A and B are shown apart, each in its own frame.
Chain A
């Protein structure tokens, strides 16, 4: 992974544009996602929309990956390959999307429960997803000059674990910019003393990720070589935004959405 790249204000401005494109595409995808929509349709839509804005799908730049998005259905944690699976009521579906524009990447994910006409409420699943969105909020609150990455990690871990869920250990957030992955590593859990993690300074651009499971944190690989799913078969959630710390404070380069992917 390329090392730490502190961005200039000008570079952050370009990343803002990249993020705005990502936001528009993600909004279209979340708006389209519903009962009867296939994951391949969503992928085709993502490709078309990204191209419309003159950008490139970041994930297609990853060696061997041919899709613009990852679609993580129910027990899929990350790297769900868009296939002909058709969304049905009460599915928990996460969309992970990366956009490359004018030399910079932005990266974002959002997870929603597909509304079912018959059961408008699913309290257990809705509570699970609410906790993920809250953990992301709490993590972003910690992006302050002088704080440490530890503080971001701790906010995620505390929020998720206090609610009785678990943070996946092997998948983490990361710095982002000219490369999809840059330093620093941003785990959703603490494993080091606070001072051993990076101190947060202006110019840092980060993809903060809350990757968590309803049951145990263990994950396993599916046979396709990409897809990672929960070991216990229970559902998983993924919430991610790209943020920058500028001299004027934290900037959300990609948006946060509501429970149904609304604004």
Chain B
């Protein structure tokens, strides 16, 4: 469930950057920077380029998001 005021989108990880940052290409073609949601951080979830992910975006900065799920 997205937080209030946020929107969800689906995309694909194109690059893993340092400090759990990822470049994600959304299905609408936008390229954004994403960090991992806290929900992915008790067990270490491996995110790799090519993975399909669900991303939460805030209306305030559409160039950044957070990955809430690895879809496959």
Contact = CB atoms under 8 A, between A and B. Distances in A.
Interface of A: 1-3, 59, 62-65, 70, 78-79, 96, 98, 169-174, 180-181, 185, 187, 209, 211, 218, 221, 225-226, 228
Nearest to B1: A225
For chain B, the bracket of interface size reads 10 to 19
Contacts of A65: 38-39, 42
A96 B43 contact: yes
Contact of A1 (B19, B38, B72): B19
A70 B42 contact: yes
Nearest to B69: A221
Given A170-B70, A225-B1, A62 B41 contact: yes
A225 B46 contact: no
Interface of B: 1, 18-20, 38-39, 41-46, 68-70, 72
Nearest to A109: B43
B38 A171 contact: no
Contacts of A70: 42-43
Given A1-B19, A221-B69, A225-B1, A62 B42 contact: yes
Given A225-B1, A225-B68, A171 B42 contact: no
A225 B56 CA distance: 13
A98 B42 CA distance: 9
With most chain B CB atoms within 10 A of its CB, the pick from A3, A70, A228 is A228
A171 B46 contact: yes
| Secondary structure type dominating chain B contacts | loop
B36 to A, nearest CB: 9
B19 to A, nearest CB: 7
With most chain A CB atoms within 10 A of its CB, the pick from B39, B43, B44, B69 is B43
Given A1-B19, A221-B69, A225-B68, A173 B42 contact: no
Nearest to B43: A78
A170 B46 contact: yes
Contacts of A185: 44, 46
Given A63-B38, A65-B38, A173-B44, 13 more contacts: A1-B44, A62-B41, A64-B39, A65-B39, A70-B42, A96-B43, A170-B70, A172-B44, A172-B46, A174-B44, A209-B44, A225-B68, A228-B43
Contacts of A59: 42
Contact of B42 (A79, A170, A211, A225): A79
Contacts of B20: 1
Given A1-B20, A170-B70, A78 B42 contact: yes
